[in-house]
């Protein structure tokens, strides 16, 4: 099986994630879509590592996972806090930062 | 060849120290401030006298002494030392400044006794003495400049001493501004001297002139710049307008600064720069013209003034015109100018003090129309003022006769039409002087009482009359003593290097005895007209009559000098200021405000993109990322 297919899959997953971020209103779902985009890029990293015979890409994938884990901690905390105060997890409801 | 003296610095340091103490000291000094000030001035006078006697003990050619203080400016081979120079010319001024100054300090103790700011007054007087001494003792134009500005400052502070009255504060400002115009001349002169001769010391410039380092044009420019400086400081035409208003200051100030000393600084400057004017014929001619115009100008204004101090101020202007005229007449003139300067210092200071004494007794009334018959009530003031009067109009053997007569004489001897014109002007001036001074005398001390109801004239205390008596003695004797065997001329000779020995045998246009007779005739005419108009039996209206000829009106308005200044300089200046204010408001502020409002407008458009929807921000992020990728893709094709 050609390694290209992994790249196609990666691109597909990234697109689904991006579309989800743009389309969905529920913060949890948006958040999951962001995770999907991160993992799509991880897949691309690993694939390129394999293609180039270098482990740099795998290393980057680990970095991404660590950062993503941290991001989940902070992001979920924010979402939970917003939900507690506003009784809503819709990203469109939290739009106070405008003129 | 010049000796040195370690004492010169004390002349300046003592009054300066006293001024500092009085200005910075606490109220505790209020009780003794006037005594400290007077003692400082007296000490300076004693130092001056010691120096004078030491000078007389030396041979005439070695009489100048110097005292190097420190190196002031040292740039490359340009070197200005703060050096004091005392020669025959300076000592005349030193004795005049400290001598008359001390008398006026004593007078002021009584005159200012009711003023709560007396300590400040004495501090300023001391400051003036110190600055004026620096002016005459500096050995370079730069040191002179420092003193020049110092006396300007002291004059400003003292004219505006009662600055709670807006009119007085304005008078002080006017004097300061007019002086500033003249100061531009002096700073230009310093620059020209530096450029042309690489030196600003008197000796350096004199050597440079002698060596022919400068072109005739440069020398004439230098002379004209010096003349401008002298014109400003000495209230000569066309910068004379400030002197009349300067009478706003306390009367002792008018006597010391605006009659005896500071206003004569211009004469000093020209005499000191004789080496320039001796070779700059155009500038010298300008000096004569300025002097001649001013001597008539002042005299005409003097005829129309009812304010006793302003009449005396106009007279000062006119007498300094005589001096300036004399300095413009070349080597023979300097010494005579100095002689008139010194005698004028005596009699005019005396008369101002007399005027102050009259004001003191008349509730500070200055309008001569409200005086009259004061001779019975103020005998000492009357006699001392009268002696000053006889001196200024030039009655022999009083001081003014000797000094003014000499000036008329040399004016007539100037040669050709110039001599005849100048001689006529000086004679006419003498006649007018006699007229207006007689008018002052008659209106103040003779005639009927025209006092205000609450006036109780009385003789002034001894502290005021004694200085007046001493100055009156000077007015009687100074001219005679100076003239004894040409003593004064010979004394000054080493400074001006002029050969006066042949003066007696020189070809005269008219013999001296005829000149004296002419001058006395002119004086007699002036006095007779005054007696005919203001003498016994003539009524003097309490308010100046309004139905007078246009000439009288013009003279009352100071020959339109203020109107001219206002029309030529003040109004255009105000218009320029207004225009600049508009430019500032519209253009500069407009630009600043424009930047602000532009930013606001742009921002209020751009801020619509900030919707608050996270998803729309995310869309922009993705659009941006895609855009960058697309660009990279296109570029790498």
At which of B522, B556, B590 does a domain end? B556
Indicate whether B594 pLDDT > 70: yes
Q: Is A32 on the interface with B (CB under 8 A)?
A: no
Looking at this predicted complex, what is its ipTM?
0.85
Task: Please list, in sequence order, all residues whose beta carbon lies within 8 angstroms of the beta carbon of residue A2, skipping any fewer than 6 positions away.
Answer: none
B524, B572: one domain: no
pLDDT the model gives residue A63: 94
At which of B529, B556, B583 does a domain end? B556
To which residue do tokens 């009927």 refer? B448
**Do A98 and B622 lie within an 8 Å CB cutoff?**
no
pLDDT the model gives residue B499: 53
Indicate whether B635 pLDDT > 90: yes
Distances (CA, A) of B286 to B61, B226, B280, B416: 32, 11, 10, 17
Residue B212 lies in a domain: no
B508, B600: one domain: no
B 442-481 near A (Cβ less than 8 A): none
Nearest to B612 among A22, A25, A95 (CB): A95
B346, B434: one domain: yes
Distance of CA B127 to the CA centre of its chain: 15
Residue B9 lies in a domain: no
Gap from A36 CA to chain B (nearest CA, Å): 15
Residue B400 lies in a domain: yes
B465, B571: one domain: no
pLDDT band at B454 (very low <50, low <70, confident <90, very high): confident
B474, B528: one domain: yes
Residue B449 lies in a domain: yes
Indicate whether B118 pLDDT > 70: yes
DSSP conformation letters of B403-445: HHHHHHHHHHTT-HHHHHHHHHHHHHHHHHHHHHHHHHHHHHH
pLDDT the model gives residue A9: 95
Using an 8 Å CB-CB cutoff, list chain B residues near A97.
Answer: 610, 612
pLDDT digits 0-9 by tens, B260-304: 888 999 999 999 998 888 888 899 999 999 999 999 988 988 888
At which of B504, B532, B556 does a domain end? B556
Residue B210 lies in a domain: no
**Residue from B339, B359, B410, B353 nearest B384 by CA:** B353
B549, B577: one domain: no
Q: How far apart are CA B249 and CA B254, in angstroms?
A: 7
Using an 8 Å CB-CB cutoff, list chain B residues near A96.
Answer: 612
Gap from A18 CA to chain B (nearest CA, Å): 8
The percentage of chain B sitting over the pLDDT mark of 70, rounded to a whole number, equals 97
Q: Which of B600, B603, B609, B613 to mutate to test the interface with A (most CBs of A within 10 A)?
A: B613
A 33-72 near B (Cβ less than 8 A): none
**Do B615 and A92 lie within an 8 Å CB cutoff?**
yes
| Burial class of residue A35, CB neighbours in 10 A (0-12, 13-18, 19+) | middle
* Range of weakest confidence among A12-16, B204-208, B465-469, B560-564: B560-564
pLDDT band at B2 (very low <50, low <70, confident <90, very high): low
Q: How far apart are CA B371 and CA B445, in angstroms?
A: 7
B551, B589: one domain: no
**Do B615 and A22 lie within an 8 Å CB cutoff?**
yes
Q: Is A31 on the interface with B (CB under 8 A)?
A: no
pLDDT the model gives residue B507: 62
- Report yes or no: B379 and B459 within 8 Å, Cβ to Cβ: yes
**Do B622 and A99 lie within an 8 Å CB cutoff?**
no
Residue B190 lies in a domain: no
Which whole number is the average pLDDT over B5-29? 88
Residue B609 lies in a domain: yes
Smallest CA–CA distance from B622 into chain A, residue: A18
Of B60 and B503, more confident = B60
Q: Is B611 on the interface with A (CB under 8 A)?
A: yes
B435, B352: one domain: yes
Indicate whether B78 pLDDT > 80: no
* Range of weakest confidence among B246-250, B493-497, B601-605: B493-497
B379, B528: one domain: yes
**Do A91 and B611 lie within an 8 Å CB cutoff?**
no
**Do B610 and A92 lie within an 8 Å CB cutoff?**
no
Of B540 and B324, more confident = B324
How many CB atoms sit inside 10 A of residue B359's CB? Answer: 19
Tally of structural domains, chain B: 2
pTM above 0.90, yes or no: no
Strands B65-75 and B78-86: antiparallel
Nearest to A98 among B611, B618, B622 (CB): B611
Distance of CA B439 to the CA centre of its chain: 25
Gap from A57 CA to chain B (nearest CA, Å): 20
Nearest to B610 among A91, A94, A99 (CB): A99
pLDDT digits 0-9 by tens, B386-440: 999 998 888 888 888 888 888 888 888 887 788 888 888 999 999 999 999 998 8
B537, B461: one domain: yes
Q: Which domain holds residue B370?
A: 291-556
B597, B452: one domain: no
B483, B605: one domain: no
pLDDT the model gives residue A99: 55
Residue B214 lies in a domain: no
Indicate whether B502 pLDDT > 50: no
pLDDT the model gives residue B599: 94
Of B183 and B448, more confident = B183
pLDDT band at B624 (very low <50, low <70, confident <90, very high): very high
**Which token pair is A60?**
């980057």
* Range of weakest confidence among A11-25, B184-198, B562-576: B562-576
**Do B622 and A18 lie within an 8 Å CB cutoff?**
yes
Gap from B617 CA to chain A (nearest CA, Å): 9
Which parts of chain A sit beneath pLDDT 70?
A: 98-99
pLDDT the model gives residue B1: 45
Indicate whether B485 pLDDT > 80: no
Indicate whether B637 pLDDT > 70: yes
Using an 8 Å CB-CB cutoff, list chain A residues near B620.
Answer: none
Task: Please list, in sequence order, all residues whose beta carbon lies within 8 angstroms of the beta carbon of residue B301, skipping any fewer than 6 positions away.
Answer: B244, B314, B317, B555, B558, B559
């Amino acid at each position: 099986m050609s390694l290209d297919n992994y790249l196609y899959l990666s691109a597909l997953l990234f697109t689904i994630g991006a579309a989800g971020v743009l389309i969905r209103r529920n913060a949890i779902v948006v958040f999951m879509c962001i995770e999907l985009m991160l993992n799509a890029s991880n897949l691309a990293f690993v694939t390129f590592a394999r293609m180039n015979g270098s482990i740099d890409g795998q290393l980057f994938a680990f970095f991404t996972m660590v950062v993503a884990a941290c991001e989940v901690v902070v992001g979920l905390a924010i979402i939970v806090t917003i939900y507690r105060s506003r009784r809503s997890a819709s990203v469109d409801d939290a739009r106070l930062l405008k003129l | 060849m010049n000796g040195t003296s370690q004492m010169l610095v004390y002349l300046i340091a003592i009054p300066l120290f006293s001024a500092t103490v009085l200005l910075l000291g606490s109220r505790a000094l209020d009780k003794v401030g006037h005594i400290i000030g007077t003692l400082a001035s007296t000490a300076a006078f004693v130092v001056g006298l010691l120096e004078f006697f030491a000078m007389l003990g030396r041979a005439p050619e070695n009489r100048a002494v110097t005292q190097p203080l420190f190196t002031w400016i040292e740039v490359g081979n340009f070197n200005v030392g703060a050096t004091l120079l005392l020669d025959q010319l300076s000592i005349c001024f030193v004795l005049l400044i400290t001598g008359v100054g001390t008398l006026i300090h004593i007078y002021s103790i009584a005159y200012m006794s009711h003023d709560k700011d007396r300590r400040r007054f004495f501090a300023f007087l001391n400051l003036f003495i110190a600055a004026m001494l620096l002016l005459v003792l500096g050995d370079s134009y730069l040191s002179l400049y420092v003193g020049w500005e110092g006396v300007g400052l002291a004059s400003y502070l003292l004219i505006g001493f009662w600055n709670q009255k807006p009119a007085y504060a304005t008078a002080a400002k006017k004097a300061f501004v007019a002086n500033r115009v003249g100061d531009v001349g002096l700073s230009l002169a310093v620059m020209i001297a530096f450029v042309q001769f690489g030196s600003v010391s008197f000796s350096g410039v004199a050597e440079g002139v002698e060596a022919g380092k400068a072109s005739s044009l440069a020398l004439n420019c230098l002379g004209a710049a010096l003349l401008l400086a002298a014109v400003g400081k000495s209230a000569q035409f066309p910068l004379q307008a400030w002197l009349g208003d300067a009478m706003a200051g306390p009367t002792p100030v008018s006597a010391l600064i605006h009659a005896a000393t500071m206003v004569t600084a211009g004469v000093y400057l020209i005499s000191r720069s004789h080496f320039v004017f001796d070779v700059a014929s155009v500038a010298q001619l300008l000096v004569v013209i300025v002097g001649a115009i001013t001597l008539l100008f002042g005299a005409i204004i003097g005829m129309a003034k009812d304010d006793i101090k302003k009449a005396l101020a106009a007279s000062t202007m006119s007498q300094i015109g005589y001096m300036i005229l004399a300095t413009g007449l070349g080597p023979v003139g300097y010494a005579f100018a100095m002689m008139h300067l010194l005698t004028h210092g005596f009699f005019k200071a005396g008369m101002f003090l007399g005027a102050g004494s009259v004001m003191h007794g008349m509730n500070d009334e200055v309008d001569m129309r409200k005086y009259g018959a004061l001779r019975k009530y103020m005998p000492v003031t009357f006699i001392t003022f009268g002696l000053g009067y006889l001196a200024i109009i030039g009655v022999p053997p009083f001081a003014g006769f000797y000094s003014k007569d000499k000036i008329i004489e040399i004016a007539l001897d100037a040669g050709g039409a110039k001599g005849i014109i100048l001689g006529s002007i000086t004679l006419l001036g003498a006649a007018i002087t006699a007229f207006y001074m007689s008018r002052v005398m008659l209106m103040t001390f003779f005639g009927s009482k025209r006092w205000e109801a609450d006036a109780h004239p009385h003789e002034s205390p001894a502290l005021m009359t004694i200085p007046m008596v001493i100055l009156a003695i000077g007015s009687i004797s100074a001219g005679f003593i100076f003239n004894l065997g040409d003593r004064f001329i010979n004394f000054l000779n080493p400074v001006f290097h002029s050969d006066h020995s042949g003066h007696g045998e020189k070809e005269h246009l008219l013999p001296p005895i005829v000149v004296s007779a002419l001058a006395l005739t002119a004086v007699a005419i002036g006095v007779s007209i005054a007696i005919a108009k203001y003498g016994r039996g003539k009524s003097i209206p309490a308010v100046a009559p309004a139905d007078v000829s246009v000439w009288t009106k013009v003279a009352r308005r100071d020959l339109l000098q203020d109107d001219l200044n206002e029309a030529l300089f003040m109004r255009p200046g105000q218009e320029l200021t207004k225009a600049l204010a508009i430019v500032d408001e519209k253009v500069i502020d407009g630009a600043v405000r424009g930047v602000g409002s532009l930013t606001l407008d742009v921002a209020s458009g751009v801020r619509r993109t900030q919707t608050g929807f996270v998803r729309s921000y995310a869309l922009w992020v993705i659009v941006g990322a895609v855009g960058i990728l697309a660009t990279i893709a296109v570029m790498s094709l």
